[in-house]
Structure 1
């Protein structure tokens, strides 16, 4: 990426504390001097590294995992793998650009890089993109509540219509409708949590969310060997047919290697949405013990590689279970096929808890960005402003959830706009503006410029194709 100075080992905190044992240690060399790092110090470094990997993985993993099987269905297997790999590489590459830019400029936050690059207009534009991304993630979480909660309530209530595959959602009473159950959760769980001045205790939900994603991936892999194809032939001891899907077209039990349809326009934006973590990366970098560019590059490489593996597993086994009948929200497909399966029920409960707790947790940085960018005296806490911004954000979230018919639309639009800006466009802009020309090669700047042009063209093309698909569906 840059010259040799970017690759040397950095021991920014200097030699280790002389009170720590130096026997059985190891050495690192910098500028011709050898530093002896003790075993105890090495363990602290490893622990810090592992914690940073966990935090960055947690920042990446989210609701996007539920849409990747549908993405594979819309692209075909080979095209999906190629584009997912390219997206993962782009995420790692632009993280590296941010790290180099942060080191050269001395700025430690995404917003700080924006201010340093283009002053207040740059900060406003970056803040808008961050708000849009957070809003998109919140909408996807509440959308999952809207879709999953009625199904779970009916299964737990042992509804005979669900078990017989004859259930009609339109016949449900109003208090069993998705919009009503969603409002109950928002008003009585999310609003009280989002109203609090401090929700540090919800930080534990991050670890729980990671566990939910891993459990979901395990469920997807396991159910591949349980659900037959076609899955409408699946039987239970007490019922004839568990599937409640009305077959519009026969299920095809064969994977397509490559395909392009109108829905393919959502594919890469969904992938970009699934890998977005750049606004959270710099704070994680600062929390590293003895932070260095090279060390954070390794953290990013390990995190993105592990997430890529999880995404590939869940998308592949989800698609290879249902093929052309996979839904845009993967968990609903399993719920249709085997609604009373204990593992599916457990996964649904944990995912619902996870997204319910993650919504107020994600709402806080969104509100903070709005207050610090658009209000005077942001450092002064004001309850009216605190609650008013919260009410506006959650109201907008609920309205969008009610109006948007498919979670694919959320992933696609958010991925094409805010996620593309934060993952591709802005890191390149910051690098070209702030990186020291004497310390980065000309080729690195050319690559960043080409990637910037690609990001802008991709965003415009994706938005046009998505809007065209919306218009075509209405017609």
Structure 2
């Protein structure tokens, strides 16, 4: 057996071609991208794919040495961290501004623990179910309905990820162009219109990359994305100590030069004092925007379709070893998310917008450091979108015409349709907050809470329904349903009763 490009394998005639499968997600680095870009479905019929050989379904199925992993423990931690972190980090300060510091930390802790518990359920289910393909587990558990639920949730999550990336282009690219060209008056300039720019980037840069059959060379873009987010975090912490408070005085004075407060602005700040309520952190906040906190957090922690291929590639593979990978990754992302949210909130307090990076331009302008951050993030998300399109297109192709040979016409039509639909969402959905909220309350809740527990209850036969493990999984399933229905209901009510808030902060 020889490993080839895109994580596929050349299987000799005496090898079982149904023994290899993998899954994907939109945000993890190259060693896992090889498995990810294999997509949801390999060339063989997914119904015949099995993670384990039938003859090896023994006591320790997950340790069967049918396909030795090659990825080290440290690289697996990096890959899973990469799968977790994404554009959701840009909305966490907004969530804290509408929950308060204490309530946010409580919610962040619970969501991270629940996400880690669902990884435990997923790994155990993969062991008992004999598959490392998320959709295949769904099919084994509930037939076509389970498969469609898994595939649909992953597709929705990926479309949400694409939309959030393109929202970043829509928000940030005009600011970058304005800063580079030193333009003051933006009225009537089409190339500073975010809607036009996102269309231009999508169909001039992203579409040609997305049409390629082999995206293996883009495998490192998720690593770049993680590095960009770490750089973003460093800048957020640094800016907290550079931007004074209250920011209202600076906005009124309008006296900033390249993101630095002048003496006139500082005088206004001094006359207003820094003990105003606007500069006091609040620990518990309840308002109409608080309902977006849990969906934003669930959106930020979704990595579950990536867990199984990372597990498959792990060297000296065992469920305990993979859980250790997961614990380290989740703890690292917990700290990263907490720091990003906290320092962003303590910089702007109630003025935080739904996309933190955009808040800096609205309040303090753009300096060189922020410009570099924007450019890095823009490059990362632009190169990541084609990787996200790949599994969506593969899923659609498999569902519509699984037995037909490859066709460039069909390949192109599906790609253009996916990209066009996502662009329509970005243009007509008012803010990135709504993408975080809707996808977090629906697809993310399915992937974190509902599907892993539902698959576990159905496929893990050795534990009776009255066992502590099954009762825990059932409670987790019910809590997921409550979270999804409750969050969706509250978000829809917010849209209906307060349409003026659609623009966010």
Q: What does residue range 402-421 of structure 1 map to in structure 2 within 5 Å?
A: 402-421=427-446
* Corresponding residue of 2:99: 75
Which residue of structure 2 lines up, in the alignment, with residue 60 of structure 1? 84
1:251–1:324 Cα contact (<8 Å) kept: no
Q: CA deviation at 1:147?
A: 1.0
1:161-184 deviations in whole A, cap 9, x for unaligned?
5xxxxxxx6x24223211111111
Q: Name the structure 2 match of 1:207.
A: 223
Segment of structure 1 superposing worse, 91-100 or 353-362: 353-362
CA pair 63-242 structure 1, distance change in 2 beyond 3 A: farther
- How does the TM-score come out when normalised to structure 1? 0.85
Q: Displacement of 1:131 after TM fit?
A: 0.9
Q: Which residue of 79, 96, 105 maps to 2:120?
A: 96
Q: Which has the higher contact order (CA 8 A, sep 6+)?
A: 1
5+ long unaligned stretches in structure 1: 1-6, 17-43, 162-168, 244-249
After superposing the two structures, state which structure 1 stretch, 385-394 or 426-435, moved more.
385-394
Asked if 2 retains the 8 angstrom alpha-carbon contact of 1:131 and 1:370, the reply is no
Q: Are residues 1:218 and 2:210 paired?
A: no
User: What is the CA-CA distance between 1:387 and the residue it aligns to?
Assistant: 1.1
Summarize the Cα distance change of 1:215–1:429 in structure 2 as closer, same or farther, 3 Å threshold.
same
1:291 aligns with 2:317: yes
**1:295-332 CA distance string (max 9 Å, x none):** 00001101111011110110000000000011110001
Q: 2:328 aligns with which of 302, 310, 335?
A: 302
Instruction: Provide the secondary structure at the position in 2 that maps to 1:408.
Output: helix
Answer yes or no: is 1:472 the counterpart of 2:497. Answer: yes
Check whether the contact 1:68–1:271 (CA below 8 A) recurs between aligned residues: yes
Counterpart in 2 of 1:19? none
Of the three residues 177, 180, 185, the one matched with 2:201 is 185
Aligned-partner Cα distance in 2 for 1:8–1:129: 30
Q: Which residue of 2 aligns with 1:387?
A: 412
Is 1:462–2:487 an aligned residue pair?
yes
What is the aligned length? 426
Alignment correspondent of 1:422? 447
Evaluate the alpha carbon distance shift between residue 384 and residue 294 of structure 1 in structure 2; reply closer, same or farther with a 3 A threshold. Answer: same
**What's the counterpart of residue 396 of structure 1?**
421
**Structure 1: how far apart are the matches of 2:291 and 2:415?**
33
Shift of 1:11: 6.0
Query: In the aligned structure 2, how far is the partner of 1:369 from the partner of 1:57?
Result: 25
| Map of 1:236 onto structure 2 | 257
Given the alignment of the two structures, is residue 154 of structure 1 paired with residue 178 of structure 2, yes or no?
yes
1:236 deviation in Å? 3.4
Corresponding residue for 2:355? 329
Give the gaps of 5 or more residues in structure 2. 1-58, 267-275, 501-505
Pair 1:407–1:107, CA change in 2 (3 A): same
Query: What displacement does 1:374 show?
Result: 3.3
Offset at residue 338 of structure 1 (A) = 3.3
